[in-house]
Amino acid sequence: MTEPILSVEGLSVDYVVGAGTFRALRDVSFEMLPGQVVGFVGETGCGKSTLAHSIPRLLPEPPAEVRAGKVLFQGVDLLEVPKWRMPYVRGTGIGMIFQEPINSLNPAFRIYTQIAEAVRVRRLRETGRAPSFHPDIEPFDYSKPAPVRTGDAMAHAFLPTVPESMKNAPPELTSVAKAALRAEVLDYLRLVRINDPETILNLYPHELSGGMRQRIMIATALSAKPSLLIADEPTSALDVTIQAQVLTLMKELMDEVQTSILFISHDLGVIAEIADHVGVMYAGHLVEFGPVGDVFERPRHPYTKALLRSIPSRYQDDGPLPTLAGSVPNLSHLPDGCAFAPRCPIAKELCLVEPGPALATPYANPPQRVNSSACYFPLEAEGLP
Amino acid sequence: MMTEPPLLETRDLVKHFPLNRSVAEMFRGAAPRAIHAVDGVSVSVRPRETLGLIGESGSGKTTLGWLVSRLYPPTSGRILFEGQDITDLRGRALRTWHRNAQMVFQDPLGSLDPRLRVWELVGEPMRSQEGLGRNALRDRVAELLPTVGLPPECVDQYPHEFSGGGRQRLSLARALSVHPKLIVLDEPTSALDVAVQAQILNRLVSLQREQSLAYLLITHNVAAVRYASHRVAVMYLGEIVEVGPVRDVLEHPVHPYTKALLAAVPVPNPQRRRARYRITGEIPTLVTPPPGCRFAPRCPFVIERCRVEPPPLREAPGRPGRRVSCHRAEEVGDIPAETLMASLPVARASGPPKAPLAPAPS
């Protein structure tokens, strides 16, 4: 029985702002195994980005407040880890790719510098010269100053004290080491299928196209060898042919790199393309979770059903598109019962009073055979047109 | 419908955006350079018809929309509306003509002034065209809002109080207010969630039937075009590469680019995860477009002729009402995108195949 790499238990996050408390995440639980791709879909404001940001604790606090829950990453509850230690988890532990690559790349540095930084931090961590969360490495003794002999800004920026050894640090990289670093950066560029990587290395982010930048982001994230990669809408800003290239690349990389991917998208097509397991979110609740084939073919929650039905897939002479009546509830005034009940075609008395049931088996461990749904009447939902 | 004269017609419409020359270029006497955004486009929209215009970003589809709405002056070419040349309309004549063609812009919040109330926003074309006063305007806007599915009570609200779908409905109401014959819809659903998108598309179609509207639907969303359009035109790098009836084009694409574009659309069906018919490489620059066919650098069927001679937009062999610009239309027309994939090499770390790859014509 494989240990899950990530298990989120009962996570609830609120945004407290002047206008009130917005319940962005409510009691979200799921697990993912090493090597799995877990996708999350939902409409704008359903909490999928909040979920993605709350795992590596990148939520702005305030206004965000984690109310309850656990985020167990390789057995460690990240919500218990002191904030100043979180940078050691990010990068080699949890890598992230965001929607707009241009916002994640530093416009003032060449592509080489940005990838090399990630590679160097990883190497420092692997050799025990910088604190790390990596499971293969001995736990780092945080009580002592780090024995870092390098001038690596990234590794030092988060240390509580500046160690003696850092002052008058000798020039760190020999020409041999520099060549090795460069070769490794080139390898990562080739990994993401960039033609002519020698030229690309010396360019600045603005000189590249959107698809190219996103591939640089993927290379940067992968070069830190994260155990978990969180991809928040990584292809939404790209054109459809470029999106197809990036998705194909990510699928191929799954075989070459040992990484689990948590993939967020609003596009059901993209999720169907890449994910093994899929979670459907609505108004901060995880309403359905299961293997991608089951969820798409036999959805057991009326919202999943409605979402799938509303994808325009017909011609005009085939009749009007099926739509979902009503609109997404305001997260500051969620209904008492199931959040979807006011729009649900099969809502009963019970649904308006009681919140939806917890997902029966929101776990991939043991590998789950069927999808579980936060609906009291999953079989009825399955029978909906 | 087929015999009616077109409502809108463009003839060899060209729009170049000149680039500033650097000082060095001026001294060298280099020729002025320009972005060839739209390069010789001839399309027509018939009355009560939706022409879908699909293409990737940078293909010039939005520029074409702005040109036919007379928001940009064209570099060359003619625009005809109901048979009349409107290319050179100016001043009062242009403003009067504008009641015939309205536009719904891509960014619903960016195109709605945040400091204006709904009745001012939506009523602006009516005020401009009909000179209505404040009270008359409010009443007219309140009457108009239900046609786009908004309650009449919201005339005094501000645009930020609406959701994305609501804002798009406001833009639509503003366009409808002067009873135009043509509405240019620039990405009307791309900022919306899938459930809201279906509502807006249904509304667009029912409004078209009720008010005899013609639409030019500009989008990169193939699903939206499939549902809302009668005919579809595919744009690539400022040129139309294929145009024809929507069902025909989407089910039997002839041009290699159309095939690639359609194959790249993710299908929400996990059973259909396919090895893709992929096009390698990125969209070339519009400053110096390739001399021959503009798709040649990415095309899997490229032959030498494609690189030197630009293909004309001509009748597709054996497909009435379809025009396509491909030298090899006869040979590639019947190859479905799916069967191709196996024969295509995968772009690996070594880069795309150097040799032109042309499956033997059967």
pLDDT tens readout for residues A355-367: 777 776 555 444 5
Tell me: pLDDT of B277 over 80. Answer: no
What is the predicted pLDDT for the residue at B359?
41
Nearest one of A57, A130, A306, A247 to B195, comparing CA atoms? A306
- Give the CA dihedral A34, A37, A38, A40, nearest 10 degrees: 150
Tell me whether residue B362 is in a domain.
no
What is the predicted pLDDT for the residue at B332?
80
Tell me whether residue B156 is in a domain.
yes
ipTM value greater than 0.90:
no
Contact A325, A306 (CB under 8 A): no
Distance CA A272, CA B272 (A): 9
What is the predicted pLDDT for the residue at A157?
53
B-facing residues of A in 155-194 (CB < 8 A) are 190-191, 193
Count the neighbouring beta carbons within 10 Å of the beta carbon of residue A135.
12
What SS3 class is residue B62?
helix
Cβ A240–B220 below 8 Å, yes or no?
yes
Contact B39, B11 (CB under 8 A): no
pTM: 0.80
For chains A and B, count residue pairs whose Cβ atoms are closer than 8 Å: 128
pLDDT tens digits along B117-168: 999 999 988 888 888 888 889 998 998 898 888 888 888 989 888 888 888 8
Contact B39, B14 (CB under 8 A): yes
Cβ B349–A314 below 8 Å, yes or no?
no
Cβ A266–B194 below 8 Å, yes or no?
yes
Counted domains in chain B: 1
What is the predicted pLDDT for the residue at B338?
59
Q: What's the whole-number mean pLDDT along residues A118-133?
A: 75
Cβ A311–B223 below 8 Å, yes or no?
yes
Among chain B residues, the shortest Cα distance to A330 is held by B163
Percent of chain A scoring above 90 in pLDDT: 4
Domain range for B171 is 113-177
Is the pLDDT higher at A261 or at B334? Answer: A261
Q: Residue B215: pLDDT band by 50, 70, 90 thresholds?
A: very high
Q: Is the Cβ of B163 closer than 8 Å to some Cβ of chain A? A: yes
- Give the CA dihedral B192, B197, B203, B206, nearest 10 degrees: 140
A-facing residues of B in 216-235 (CB < 8 A) are 220, 222-224, 226-230
Q: Is the Cβ of A243 closer than 8 Å to some Cβ of chain B? A: yes
Q: Which residues of B touch A209 (CB under 8 A)?
A: 282-283
Among chain B residues, the shortest Cα distance to A320 is held by B202
Tell me whether residue B312 is in a domain.
no
Tell me what the pLDDT averaged over chain B comes to. Answer: 83
Q: Which residues of A touch B197 (CB under 8 A)?
A: 310, 312
Q: What's the whole-number mean pLDDT along residues B178-191?
A: 88
pLDDT tens digits along A327-373: 777 788 887 888 888 888 887 787 877 777 777 655 544 455 566 77
Q: What's the whole-number mean pLDDT along residues A208-212?
A: 80
Cβ A323–B199 below 8 Å, yes or no?
yes
CB contact set of A151 (below 8 Å; sequence gap of 6+): A166, A169, A171, A172
Q: Which of A44, A191, A272 sits opposite B268 (nearest CB)?
A: A272
Q: A88-121 burial string, b = 16+ CB within 10 Å, else e?
A: bbbbbbbbbbbbebeebbeeeebbbebbbbbbbb
Residue whose token pair is 């040799």: B355
Q: What's the whole-number mean pLDDT along residues A203-229?
A: 85
